[in-house]
Amino acid sequence: MNAGDPADDGETWLRAVTNSKHVGRGGVHHAAFKKWLEPPDDPEADWKLEISGQLISLVDNIADQAQKRVADQQEKFKAKGERVPSALQFCGVLYAKVEKIRSLSQPRCDVIYDPKKPDDNAHANLIVRDKGLEEILTVTDALLECLIWVPKDQICTDQALSST
């Protein structure tokens, strides 16, 4: 698979959640999830919104990758001379089969492989082709219905996640 290619239908997209303030009893807060959806960095992209994540088949260990992400975020605070928030910690993951993401009729979504070498070869964006920021509530509602939330202490018992 090359950068920019759509992920295979059988692949699983996931995103580690690394802020305890973004999670409640029922999973990820709608408002936090909404903030993760952004217009693409590339103005030539043929989609309107994207959210970063990874392809599970390319992740060696979900918890290790998430802890690396937390450490990277902590370093950014330290580099700016700011206090590292205590809420910055690995909480769990959101995931879905690519086939399920593509099956949404509204919004129209896909997963595009976008490796960030050398630090994240598993990186992939869940993209939204037909809805922009002006329809963010519709997008977040549909995606949160599609994605599965798994707290970090249940990853090893989740059938789709336990193999990594």
pTM: 0.92
- Show me where the domains of the chain are located: 12-157
Is the predicted pLDDT of residue 164 greater than 70, yes or no? Answer: no
Question: SS3 of 124, please?
Answer: strand
In whole angstroms, what is the distance from residue 128 CA to residue 106 CA? Answer: 9
- pLDDT 10s digits, 132-159: 999 999 999 999 999 999 999 999 999 8
Contact 104, 144 (CB under 8 A): no
> Mean pLDDT, to the nearest integer, of 19-35?
92
**DSSP-derived pairing of the beta strands 49-55 and 88-97:** unpaired
pLDDT per position as a tens digit, 33-67: 999 999 998 889 999 999 999 999 999 999 999 99
* Residue carrying the six token digits 């630090």: 119
At residue 49's C-alpha, the angle toward residues 162 and 139, to 5°, is: 75
Asked if pLDDT for residue 114 goes beyond 80, the answer is: yes
Q: What is the pLDDT of residue 118?
A: 67
| Model confidence band, residue 160 (pLDDT cutoffs 50, 70, 90) | confident
Cα dihedral 126, 127, 131, 135, rounded to 10, equals 30
Mean pLDDT, residues 22-32 taken together: 90
User: pLDDT tens digit string along 64-97?
Assistant: 999 999 999 999 999 999 999 999 999 999 999 9
Q: How far apart are CA 80 and CA 22, in angstroms?
A: 23
Task: Output DSSP code: residue 4.
Answer: T
Phi-psi region of 3 (alpha: psi -120 to 50; beta: other; left: phi over 0): beta
The CA–CA distances, whole Å, from 46 to 52, 70, 104 equal 16, 31, 18
Q: What is the pLDDT of residue 139?
A: 96
